[in-house]
Structure 1
Amino acid sequence: MAEPESLYQRTKKAGERIAYLPLESNPETFTELIQQLGVDGFEFQDIMSLDPELLDFVPRPVHALILTFPCRGDTWQESLDEREKHLSVYEGKGEDEPVVWFSQTIQNACGLYAILHGLANGIGRSHIRNGSPFDEFLKKAIPLGPEERALALEASEDIKAIHTAAAQKGASTIPDADDVDYHFICFAKSPKTNHVYELNGTAKGPIDSGTVSESDDLLTGESLELVRNYMKNAPDNVGFSLIGLVPASA
């Protein structure tokens, strides 16, 4: 019996996806994007090294982490499939979800999904301006199951426009739809269970790492080791970048 497929895989096979311009892994661009979405009091910063001495320069606490890595070829997808083979396709919805998760159905938009995962789980709703594009989207999306939630994001013209404006500010040449070599995922803590989750829109659902963090800072203890091990065990351990969601400096 064939393993159940993620919504990402099913829409890929069916050729049903719309496509966005890809985002660069750039903290300034990410910060401007979340401000346009309606988030106050936070910004993104590069984490240049996981060496303890250099981590002291990162503002704390780090509420979410966005990891970017090369994904050309099938090796990374095979690794994800292996880790997910015993997992069911996620069907969670509503305010009782341990984490808010978005299944990716928009081509080239993994950066956007990682940012939304970080915001939806890493900060309190009080930091999202009432009536802002992200506030209105969450109100619609939270009660919905994964497929309906994915369609709600596709239908959000406000979020699409904000994403497009951010993507057009990148310094790199915009690649063709099938020529994107990097993928973004998010690590964030469940505000309900304190478990740290890997949040990847191309997966079957949110992946509970088994790591419990009593701290709001994801760059401490087992949470930090989770990121280290992910980078260490990933194929072709080059081309990674890490960005943290931190309190705004001003």
Structure 2
Amino acid sequence: MAEKFVIPMESNPDVLNKFLAKIGVSEDFKLIDVYGLESDTLDFLPKPIVAFILLFPCSSNYENHRKEEDEELKANPSKAPEGLFYMKQFLHNACCTIALFHAVLNNTNTIELKDGALKNFYEKAKDLSPEERGHLLEGDQDIIKIHQSLAVEGQTEAPSAEENVLFHFVALTNVGDNLMELDGRKNFPINHGKTSTETFVNDAAAVCKKFMRRDEKELRFTVIALAASGEQ
């Protein structure tokens, strides 16, 4: 079967909020830039925040860590929290879309899904395996069409769909008071330990800092948060 590609998205809240609106996510929650990961900066973010989306370079340090982590989890798999929505990535360059799905679909008790492409996808996907969910996205022309139309709206020139993109998005969110890292390229969801509604922002920031410490000379990290839009 031929590999399928989409144009990669950039970490631009304006564009990504348009994407969420077009697929049917309530505008009560919006993506916003996170300009710093220290407590005094995080305190100024609107609350509640239900997810962080981290964009990072796929360095050799990161890839080595990913392989080591995968071997550890194969030997000692952790139990996924009840109700976790996790999907694998098979559609190339769709990591941003999948990170957004992970952020929204693990918070459907808080975020309303309107009639539209994401609600339709979720109804089909919720009882499937992570692999089946990933393959379902490959064939979802409604979502792919919306993705492609907005991927060209960023501030930088969009690379072609087949171009090798050396950056990756992951989602961090609270599932059953567990801080989960959800990455469709990994074989398992990653549990970073206990969290809570009150501590999630600082706990997620600490995980982002771990990514940054693995590549201390690298500056190309971006964090955005999915936050309530009504309270500023």
TM-score by length of 2: 0.88
Residues 226 and 103 (structure 1), Cα distance of their counterparts in 2 relative to 1, 3 Å cut: same
The residue that corresponds to 1:172 in the other structure is 156
Of 117, 128, 133, 2:113 maps to 128
Shift of 1:238: 1.7
Residues 182 and 188 (structure 1), Cα distance of their counterparts in 2 relative to 1, 3 Å cut: same
Shift of 1:53: 2.4
Of 129, 133, 155, 1:149 maps to 133
Structure 2, gaps ≥5 residues long: none
Residues 197 and 136 (structure 1), Cα distance of their counterparts in 2 relative to 1, 3 Å cut: same
Q: Measure the CA separation in 2 of the matches of 1:241 and 1:119.
A: 19
Q: Measure the CA separation in 2 of the matches of 1:125 and 1:63.
A: 9
Residues 51 and 147 (structure 1), Cα distance of their counterparts in 2 relative to 1, 3 Å cut: closer
Q: Measure the CA separation in 2 of the matches of 1:178 and 1:235.
A: 26
Q: Contact 1:60/1:217 (CA < 8 Å) preserved in 2?
A: no
The residue that corresponds to 1:233 in the other structure is 214
Higher relative contact order (CA 8 A, sep 6+): 2
Of 28, 42, 66, 1:55 maps to 42
Q: Contact 2:85/2:102 (CA < 8 Å) preserved in 1?
A: yes
Shift of 1:17: 2.3
Residues 235 and 143 (structure 1), Cα distance of their counterparts in 2 relative to 1, 3 Å cut: farther
1:76 aligns with 2:68: no
Residue identity opposite 1:202 in structure 2: R
Q: Contact 1:64/1:244 (CA < 8 Å) preserved in 2?
A: yes
* 1:196 counterpart SS class: strand
Q: Measure the CA separation in 2 of the matches of 1:137 and 1:118.
A: 15
Q: Contact 1:100/1:117 (CA < 8 Å) preserved in 2?
A: yes
Of 191, 196, 205, 1:214 maps to 196
Q: Measure the CA separation in 2 of the matches of 1:216 and 1:64.
A: 13
Q: Contact 2:5/2:92 (CA < 8 Å) preserved in 1?
A: yes
Structure 1, gaps ≥5 residues long: 1-14
Shift of 1:62: 1.1
Q: How many residues align?
A: 227
CA deviations 1:64-85 (Å, max 9, x no partner) are: 000001115x432221111121
Q: Percent identity?
A: 27
1:182-221 to structure 2, matched below 5 A, reads: 182-190=167-175, 193-210=176-193, 212-215=194-197, 218-220=200-202
Q: Measure the CA separation in 2 of the matches of 1:38 and 1:225.
A: 31
1:30-109 to structure 2, matched below 5 A, reads: 30-40=16-26, 41-72=28-59, 74-88=60-74, 97-109=82-94
Residue identity opposite 2:122 in structure 1: L
Q: Measure the CA separation in 2 of the matches of 1:194 and 1:238.
A: 31
Q: Measure the CA separation in 2 of the matches of 1:17 and 1:78.
A: 25
The residue that corresponds to 1:10 in the other structure is none
Residues 84 and 233 (structure 1), Cα distance of their counterparts in 2 relative to 1, 3 Å cut: same
Q: Measure the CA separation in 2 of the matches of 1:123 and 1:145.
A: 19
Q: Contact 1:61/1:218 (CA < 8 Å) preserved in 2?
A: no
* 2:173 counterpart SS class: strand
Residue identity opposite 2:35 in structure 1: M
Residue identity opposite 1:44 in structure 2: L
Q: Contact 1:103/1:205 (CA < 8 Å) preserved in 2?
A: no
Q: Contact 2:25/2:111 (CA < 8 Å) preserved in 1?
A: no
TM-score by length of 1: 0.82
